[in-house]
Chain A
């Protein structure tokens, strides 16, 4: 069994995907996959990132992802 999630990466994190993707990808993950596993698969090792699941901030990296989830990952550092 797999689940499919809709992923969107922003700013510098987009470089984890091919340039044409512009940070977007639909990814198939095994049933029960967590945010931590997703980050590992994407090779995102930065600490200061912010994640939202279905437009709600998700600080818990052990969150189990569900089919159709919309995941956004931002790099959280920088000024204004």
Chain B
């Protein structure tokens, strides 16, 4: 009997309305773990080279892991993979919330969606039963309304709803898939893929809780997590949210400001997590925000999610739509020179109502702000909006226009890279994209390992694919034991981007990749400051699955395997070393102000790091393609056969 998983994946072809249930054995689950690796198994098997990201032939895989739905913090996550309409490369994005656990309770470890329905539909899954239902009446609704309607018509307010908003319906290239109306598979445009299939939502409910091999061991780990939280590295993040890092980043010169032209933002304190806690979290006025202004994911003790409520002033915020993360306060805030927290919360709310990635949306707007500052855009281009740095009102209006694909918003809905192609006038100089995906709020000019990761990551610039530099630099003493478990045994200077830094980066990338396959939250599990380290990660897998001989080395290989699958997909689509690039401005323009004044990246150092990375990965250093030998070593001979035919 399987522990932790059901061994069943629901597969639906929306063109024909046909369902099938795939059953996989234990060896399969142990090999892939779930999440992104499981999804890639389907992508590589069921799509062919040249697949149109928004065509019926694209496959959208929504996958849980062997751990999802069990009683421990950080496991209720789902990974979406499909070819990305934003980047043209593989798309990959994780979400938390309650939907992932509830899908497991409904009897499945994943849902694979192919084809395109002739009319809008939603999928309803309950206790192993499933059906497609008409969604014509839901099409065009914002997330909160659609969620309420679905619960109402199915007569159960405990149903969890995964859905797209109007942005996904209209093919905004960075549209997100939402659940709870405030959690997002945000990155790489997975919402646009779902919209192209005319699939509005997947509603789930069930009682099939997965069996756990060793309940008492899992319980002990959960209890240890609860008692360790107050002394852990995430205690501040839990209470003050991810935006607690705003002031630190400003101080260290790593707070991307004015579209990444500076690492410091003078007005940072106005949009910092501590300020958010004191002012706009629900219940803050009565000092009750710890109870009312924080939310969580299924079974998670951390409760890091923000719940904002604003009833007065120009921006009213409904707590149903949550509150902004650090990435969001950054892209809509410091990226645009904006110091208005209520306006940022409003932009966040629009993104959650319409279903858009806050990172790409805010960073696309900041690209437009820089183009305006440089005189490359005028009011004639922007429907009369003034895009001067710091203009919060225009930022909120533009967010709404993008969501609705109205006027200039229709151009920006294509993402900044395509928008620069449409506008021309040299505006590509202001891009902060890798593979067409806008960079998140961690600066590679200072955190050098991110220069490598933003470039090589198969789905574009990403901050959650590896551990950052401080963990192996200034914070090394705190992390020696945990790092040792993934083979990192020496400190490396934070400013280095040498062989040793590449080795560290790759080791942590494999661990993060394993976590994206086991679908573990990267605040709860990780190799450094997180609540649980590699040891507890291994213990969790053992307790849930009963695979008593599983080791961290085996989990690292799951991570490496997933990375090779993602990479193989890109290689199949013709992406190679020349696609592993960084924005030109990161090399050309020195940062202005603060500790990082004068910082820029060095092209030669970067190219040497790329070569070292490919070679350490067992990939061709000219093309960046995984070799047959490497794929076979990872049990991916079938992928090698596709790639090296």
Contact = CB atoms under 8 A, between A and B. Distances in A.
B478 A47 contact: yes
B567 interface: no
Given A57-B252, A72-B247, A77 B233 contact: yes
A41 B326 CA distance: 31
A75 B244 contact: yes
A79 interface: yes
A80 B326 contact: yes
Contacts of B240: 10-12
Contacts of A78: 233-234, 236-237, 242, 244-245, 523, 529
B572 to A, nearest CB: 31
Interface in B226-273: 233-237, 239-240, 242, 244-245, 247-248, 251-253, 272-273
Given A52-B251, A74-B251, A75-B244, A80 B463 contact: yes
A61 B449 CA distance: 27
Interface in B71-105: none
Given A48-B474, A78-B242, A79-B523, 15 more contacts: A11-B244, A11-B274, A12-B236, A14-B274, A23-B274, A57-B253, A75-B244, A77-B236, A78-B244, A79-B234, A79-B242, A80-B327, A80-B441, A80-B442, A80-B464
A50 interface: yes
A35 B503 CA distance: 35
A27 interface: no
Interface in B437-467: 440-442, 463-464
Contacts of B251: 50, 52, 57, 72, 74
A50 B440 contact: no
B236 A47 contact: no
A13 B240 CA distance: 11
Interface string B565-600: 000000000000000000000000000000100000
B325 interface: yes
Q: From B234, B244, B326, B442, name the one whose CB has the most chain A CB atoms within 10 angstroms.
A: B244
B631 to A, nearest CB: 32
A30 interface: no
Contacts, number: 82
The 6 closest A-B pairs by CB, nearest first: A12-B236, A78-B237, A77-B233, A11-B236, A11-B244, A77-B529
A78 to B, nearest CB: 4
Contact of A47 (B247, B325, B477): B477
Interface string A25-53: 00000000000000000000001101010
A50 B248 contact: yes
Contacts of A50: 248, 251-252
B484 to A, nearest CB: 18
Contacts of A79: 234, 237, 242, 245, 326, 464, 522-523
B239 A48 contact: no
Nearest to A58: B251
Nearest to A13: B236
A64 to B, nearest CB: 20
Q: From B252, B274, B278, name the one whose CB has the most chain A CB atoms within 10 angstroms.
A: B274
A79 to B, nearest CB: 5
A16 to B, nearest CB: 12
B390 interface: no
Contact of B278 (A22, A52, A56): A22
Interface of A: 10-14, 22-23, 47-48, 50, 52, 56-57, 72, 74-80
15 contacts: A11-B239, A11-B274, A13-B236, A23-B274, A47-B477, A50-B252, A57-B253, A75-B244, A75-B248, A77-B529, A78-B233, A79-B326, A80-B325, A80-B441, A80-B463
B495 interface: no
Nearest to A48: B475
Given A11-B244, A12-B239, A14-B274, A77 B234 contact: yes
B470 interface: yes
A12 B247 CA distance: 13
A4 to B, nearest CB: 21
A57 to B, nearest CB: 5
Contacts of A13: 236
Contacts of A12: 235-236, 239-240, 244
Interface string B303-339: 0000000000000000000000111000000000000
Contacts of A76: 248, 470, 475
Contacts of B235: 12
Contacts of A22: 278
A12 B325 CA distance: 17
Contact of B245 (A14, A47, A56, A80): A80
Contacts of B440: 80
Q: From B248, B253, B327, B474, name the one whose CB has the most chain A CB atoms within 10 angstroms.
A: B248
Contacts of A52: 251
A66 to B, nearest CB: 19
A11 B235 CA distance: 9
Given A12-B240, A47-B475, A74 B248 contact: yes
B413 to A, nearest CB: 25
Contacts of A48: 233, 470, 474-475, 478, 529
Contacts of B239: 11-12
Contacts of B244: 10-12, 75, 78
A10 B247 contact: yes
A58 to B, nearest CB: 9
Interface in B100-139: none
A13 B247 CA distance: 13
Nearest to B330: A80
A45 to B, nearest CB: 10
Contacts of A56: 595
Contacts of A72: 247, 251
Contacts of A75: 236, 244, 248
A79 B233 CA distance: 10
Contacts of B248: 50, 74-76
Q: From A12, A47, A57, A76, name the one whose CB has the most chain B CB atoms within 10 angstroms.
A: A76
Interface in B259-304: 272-274, 278
B247 A74 contact: yes
B161 to A, nearest CB: 27
Contacts of A80: 242, 245, 325-327, 440-442, 463-464
